């Protein structure tokens, strides 16, 4: 019995078909079917029903899949741990940080890294709505970003912050003197939105009916809102010490969890481990 055969069964279950599983595994469909048959024959059970077009787990298969996933996770954790034992200090470390994350916490982290690993080169990417994709594509080693929904099959997460994003206008905004402004009243004026910094991204917190102005960074976004040219969401720390900015508290405030994340199948070297442990 090999872990690979069990891995194949798990991928079939996740992808919903033998064809998609073979594509993801870069294996012939016959090899995928062979792996399933080997496990079924070894334990004399039926894992997938042959009575349906798409592979559906049998009663025994549903019980077995939970054990398979637990075993594969344990094997992966052992592999990562074993690789970390003899890992050398990284010459370079790539970190992505969400643009809405407080910068003083990033500089504090970098200060710790500089003291402990003065020779390591740090690549720091300030990103918008791109953290998970950059991590998945191996553009970065560790990401600090907003996570709407955790993908625990691929990544390990640790929640380190919760940020509040309220809708703000300026005291010089044309409707600033009105109370309890609605989205419909704001819609004719530009909603200032920061574009995704890496590939395309589904936008969040955007009012579809509004006129949109897109900018490349949060500093420009805040400047446009502060000047009264438009409106948009800002974190409480971005709006701090800005007397011209007015929060529209009658509109929904978004509570955004921020996570530090890494890929499950990638071992951490000493520097990356320092980053991970910093947020314990």
Mean pLDDT, the chain, integer:
89
154 and 168 assigned to the same domain: no
- 161: phi then psi, degrees, rounded to nearest 5: -165, 155
The per-residue pLDDT for 52 is: 77
Residues 65-110 pLDDT 10s: 989 988 888 888 787 677 656 667 888 999 999 999 999 999 999 9
3-state helix/strand/coil string of the chain: CCHHHHHHHHHHHHHCCHHHHHHHHCCCHHHHHHHHHHHHHHHCCCCEECCCCCCEECHHHHHHHHHHHHHHHHHHHHHHHHHHHCCCCCCEEEEEEECCCCHHHHHHHHHHHHHHCCCCEEEEEEECCCHHHHHHCCCCCEEEEECCCCCCCCEEEEEEEEEEEEEEEECCCCCCCCCCCCHHHHCCCCEEEECCCCCCCCCCCCCCCCCEEEECCHHHHHHHHHCCCCEEEEEHHHHCCCCCEEECCCCCCEEEEEEEEEECCCCCCHHHHHHHHHCC
pLDDT range class, residue 1, cuts 50, 70, 90: low
Taking residues 7-31, what's their average pLDDT?
A: 89
Q: Give pLDDT, residue 234.
A: 96
Show Cβ contacts of residue 58 under 8 Å, excluding neighbours closer than 6 positions: 45, 46, 47, 48, 49
Residues shown for the chain: 280
Whether residues 169 and 157 fall in one domain: no
Number of domains forming the structure of the chain: 3
Question: CA-CA distance, 122 to 124, in Å (whole number)?
Answer: 6
Per-residue b or e along 64-87, where b marks 16 or more CB atoms closer than 10 Å to that residue's CB: bbeebbeeeeeeeeeebeeeeeee
Both 149 and 265 in one domain: the answer is yes
Q: What mean pLDDT comes out for the span 31-48?
A: 90
| Percent of the chain topping pLDDT 70 | 95
Phi-psi group of 84: left, alpha or beta (phi > 0 → left; psi -120 to 50 → alpha; rest → beta): alpha
Co-location of 40 and 103 in the same domain? no
CATH classification at residue 237: 3.40.190.290
Residue ending a domain, among 26, 52, 85, is: 85
Domain of residue 34, residue span:
3-85
CA atoms of 107 and 118, how far apart (whole Å): 15
Residues 104 and 41 in one domain: no
d(CA 162, CA 243): 24
Q: What is the pLDDT of residue 83?
A: 64
The answer on 174 and 143 residing in a single domain is no
Do 155 and 168 fall within a single domain?
no
Q: What pLDDT is recorded for position 207?
A: 81
Last residue of one domain, picked from the residues 56, 85, 114: 85
Q: Are residues 129 and 248 in the same domain?
A: no
Point out the domain boundary residue: 27, 53, 85.
85
Task: Answer yes or no: pTM beyond 0.85.
Answer: no
Taking only the tens place, the pLDDT of each residue in 76-88 is 878 767 765 666 7
Q: If you average pLDDT over residues 150-156, what whole number do you get?
A: 90
Share of the chain above pLDDT 90, in %: 54
The C-alpha atoms of residue 246 and residue 227 are separated, in whole angstroms, by 12
Domain co-membership, 105 together with 136: yes
Give the C-alpha separation, 205 to 208, whole Å. 9
**What pLDDT does 230 receive?**
96
191 and 81 belong to one structural domain? no
Distance of alpha carbon 183 from the chain centroid: 28
134 and 238 inside one domain: no
Residues 57 and 188 in one domain: no
């Amino acid at each position: 019995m090999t872990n690979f055969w069990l891995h194949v069964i798990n991928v079939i279950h996740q992808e919903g078909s033998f064809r998609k599983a073979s594509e993801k595994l870069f294996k012939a469909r016959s090899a995928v079917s062979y792996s399933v048959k080997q496990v079924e024959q070894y334990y004399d059970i039926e894992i997938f029903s042959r009575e349906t077009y798409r592979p559906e787990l049998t009663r025994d298969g549903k019980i077995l899949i939970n054990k398979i996933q637990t075993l594969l996770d344990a094997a992966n954790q052992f592999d990562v741990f074993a690789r970390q034992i003899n890992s050398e200090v990284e010459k370079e470390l790539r970190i992505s940080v969400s643009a809405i994350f407080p910068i003083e916490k990033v500089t504090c982290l970098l200060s710790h890294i500089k003291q402990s690993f003065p020779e390591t080169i740090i690549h720091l990417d300030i990103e918008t709505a791109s953290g998970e994709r950059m991590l998945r594509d191996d553009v970065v080693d560790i990401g600090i970003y907003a996570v709407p929904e955790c993908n625990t099959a691929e990544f390990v997460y640790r929640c380190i912050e919760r940020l509040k994003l309220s809708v703000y206008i300026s005291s010089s905004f044309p409707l600033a003197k009105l109370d309890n402004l609605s989205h419909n009243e704001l819609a004719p004026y530009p909603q200032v939105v920061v574009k995704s910094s890496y590939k395309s991204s589904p936008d969040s917190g955007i009012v579809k009916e509004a006129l949109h102005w897109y900018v490349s960074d949060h500093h420009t976004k805040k400047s446009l809102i502060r000047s009264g040219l438009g409106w948009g969401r800002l974190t409480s720390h971005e709006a701090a010490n800005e007397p011209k900015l007015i929060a529209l508290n009658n509109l929904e405030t978004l509570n955004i969890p921020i996570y530090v994340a890494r890929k499950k199948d990638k071992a951490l070297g000493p520097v990356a481990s320092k980053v991970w442990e910093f947020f314990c």
